Structure 1
Amino acid sequence: MTEPTIAATIAAALRHERERAGISLTELARRAGIAKSTLSQLESGVGNPSVETLWSLGVALDVPFSRLVEPPAPALRVIRAGDGPRIKSDQLDYTGTLVAAGSRAARRDIYVLTIEPGAARHAEAHIPRSVEHIVVAAGRLRTGPAGDTVDLDPGDYVTFAGDVPHTYEALAPGTFAVLVMEHP
């Protein structure tokens, strides 16, 4: 069995979660602040959504980001470096790769972040009571709630509320970090 494309995975997840919530395409687009045509394309498996668009949809649906991009899990799953569902930012050279999504009971997701110096990525608040845990593996990272960021070196760890606006900014080339996102 072949793994579905990221577009097909997102399409199926959006349709499922929207139907589970019992809302129309128009209503979800309104809640997420995106065009209905964009949402229709995404549910059809067409388009290449940014991290920001998917986060907006996740917040509007009250589901973790991972639920929109995680393909069904096989019994054994290996993700080689550089593989996995990679979602790029439309703000800067930032890529989040989901490596493990939590179950409905565990509600935690693990991402590998690769960020290059440039503008900061300003993330909107995630679903209520979300918490971010970040460990920097290489480079240097400035992150944290807006107005209360901290600079991190390799091996440094930070945790903060993910349900408030926050930023990520690479301070050195090749910045690489692991993000564990907890959801209530």
Structure 2
Amino acid sequence: MDAVSFLATSVRRERERAGLTLTELARRAGVAKSTLSQLESGVGNPSVETVWALSNVLGVPFSRLVDPTPVRVEVIRFGQGTTARSEHADYAATLLTAAPPGTRRDLYQLVAEPGPEKRSDPHLPGTVEHLVITQGRARVGPVDADVELGPGDYVSYPGDQPHVFIALEPDTRAVLISEHR
């Protein structure tokens, strides 16, 4: 896809994502509607000022409109990845993706068996954990406020306080996102 076609596709995609009509985007950006229409049709050659105005109104970086960053697909099959095991419980956490520079989250797949609780010490101040049970049942959350969850259930809790994960059924599985603020 050439640069003009990429820009046309990007502006249209971001305008629709923002829920704006062509007329409303043109008005907010201070751009003629005909200029925007031509741009989205792939026949315009907008100035850098026009693209900046559009990116500001759309609330996206300039680069999202002009830079065709290749899509990166990464697959980690079940049972692969870097796994850390608990010394005190039948609990394993496999890191699926670490937060790249500039972001603040890590994604884990958890597998646990009934038995001793997996107790975690507080993480960095401001850490929030988001967890979805994908199989089995577990008690999860702050030590003094854990909740029972089943398949599909979601919980969010402060990870900067002592917290637990207690599997209630064999082969309990979950996805955990640790968000660092």
Match of 1:117 in 2: 114
- How many residue pairs get aligned? The number is 110
Q: Any unmatched runs of 5+ in structure 2?
A: 1-71
Question: SS of the residue aligned with 2:148?
Answer: strand
1:161 alignment partner, one of 153, 158, 165: 158
- Partner residue of 2:126? 129
Corresponding residue for residue 88 of structure 1: 85
The two structures, once aligned, show a CA RMSD in angstroms of 1.0
- Per the TM alignment, residue 77 of structure 1 is displaced from its structure 2 partner at its CA by 3.0
Partners of 1:148 and 1:77 in 2: how far apart? Answer: 36
Q: Does 1:139 align with 2:160?
A: no
Where 2:93 maps in the other structure, the secondary structure is strand
Matched-pair identity in %: 45
| Amino acid across the alignment from 2:89 | L
For residue 51 of structure 1, what is the aligned residue in structure 2?
Answer: none
Please list every run of 5 or more consecutive structure 1 residues that lacks an aligned counterpart in the other structure.
1-74
Q: If the length of structure 1 is used for normalisation, what is the TM-score?
A: 0.58
What is the distance in 1 between the residues matched to 2:123 and 2:101? 17
Aligned to 2:26: none
Instruction: Provide the rounded CA distance (Å) in 2 between the counterparts of 1:149 and 1:179.
Output: 15
Runs of 4+ deviating beyond 4 Å: none
Q: How far apart are 1:105 and its partner, in Å? A: 1.4
Q: After superposition, what is the alpha-carbon deviation per residue over 1:87-127, rounded to whole angstroms, capped at 9, x for unaligned?
A: 00001100000001112311111000000000101100001
Query: 1:76: Cα distance to partner?
Result: 4.8
Higher alpha-carbon Rg:
2
1:148-167 deviations in whole A, cap 9, x for unaligned?
00000000000000000000
**2:167 paired with 1:152:** no
**2:10: which partner in 1?**
none
d(CA) in 2 for partners of 1:104, 1:165:
27
What TM-score do the two structures reach when normalised by structure 2?
Answer: 0.59
Q: Which moved more, 1:125-134 or 1:77-86?
A: 77-86
- What SS does structure 2 have at the residue aligned with 1:126? coil
Rounded Cα–Cα distance in structure 2 between residues aligned with 1:147 and 1:157: 18
